[in-house]
Amino acid sequence: MSESAEKHREAAPEKVRSAVLTISDTRTPETDTGGNIIVELLREAGHEVYLREIVRDEARAIEEVLTAFLADADVDAIITTGGTGISARDTTYEVMNRLIHKKLDGFGELFRMLSYEEIGAAAMLSRAVAGSTTTAAGAKFLACLPGSTNAVRLAMEKLLVPEMPHVVFELRKHHHRTEAT
């Protein structure tokens, strides 16, 4: 790791306040395994799960919940699970693409590379995406994960838990600078 990346990681917030959204027509709070893994791994890493919801896989409903999460000044990051495939019911990717201002292409690329090592060519069916957006409530990080519990665990352990504090630090730094001018 470069010296500057190391310094940024040291300056990153210890606690990221996250909102978790499960997108599913069938999951309930009792059967939301993907959402449970996100919550468990965030808490283990010392982060706070501030909001959590389950919503049907319908674009308008997804957008309503995400818009409310984005409007909350206490939310640093939003992680979704579900609705990233290519079936007609999968609309999360389209909604996220409308909301994300700056896409982190490397997230999807790395996720699919890591996923390929586990499941082979089927990894290309995932439309996992991440990026940032800036609202009146501040700059937010968004990550959109598949519904598969194995995929959620992979993305959380290998990508989000290690790097999310650094991403949030960068977003806060930029937002405060633009606010001050």
Radius of gyration of the chain (CA): 16
pLDDT tens readout for residues 1-46: 566 656 555 666 678 999 999 999 999 999 999 999 999 999 999 9
pLDDT at 12: 62
Share of the chain above pLDDT 70, in %: 88
Superfamily of domain 13-180: MoaB/Mog-like domain (3.40.980.10)
What pLDDT score does 180 carry?
Answer: 46
| 138 CB-near residues (< 8 Å, 6+ apart) | 73, 171, 172, 175
Copy the structure tokens of residue 180. 């001050």
> Residue 9's pLDDT is what?
55
* Listed residue (81, 100, 89) closest to 36, CA to CA: 81
Counting residues of the chain whose pLDDT is more than 90, the rounded percentage is: 80
pLDDT, one tens digit per residue, over 123-172 is: 999 999 999 999 999 999 999 999 999 999 999 999 999 999 999 999 98
Q: What is the mean pLDDT of residues 112-116?
A: 97
pLDDT in tens, 46-80: 999 999 999 999 999 999 999 999 999 999 999 99
Residue 125, token pair as written in the block: 């069916």
Instruction: Please check the confidence at residue 179 and state whether its pLDDT lies above 60.
Output: no
Across all residues in the chain, what is the average pLDDT?
90
Q: Which DSSP string corresponds to 76-138? A: -EEEEES--SSSTT--HHHHHHHH-SEE-HHHHHHHHHHHHHHHGGGGGG---EEEEEEETTE
Residue 104 pLDDT exceeds 90: yes
93 and 83 Cβ atoms separated by less than 8 Å: yes
Sheet containing strand 129-135, edge to edge, reads 48-55, 17-23, 77-81, 138-145, 129-135, 102-103
Query: What is the model's pLDDT at position 10?
Result: 61
Residue 181 has pLDDT above 50, yes or no: no
Record the tokens describing residue 167, joined without a space.
């991403």
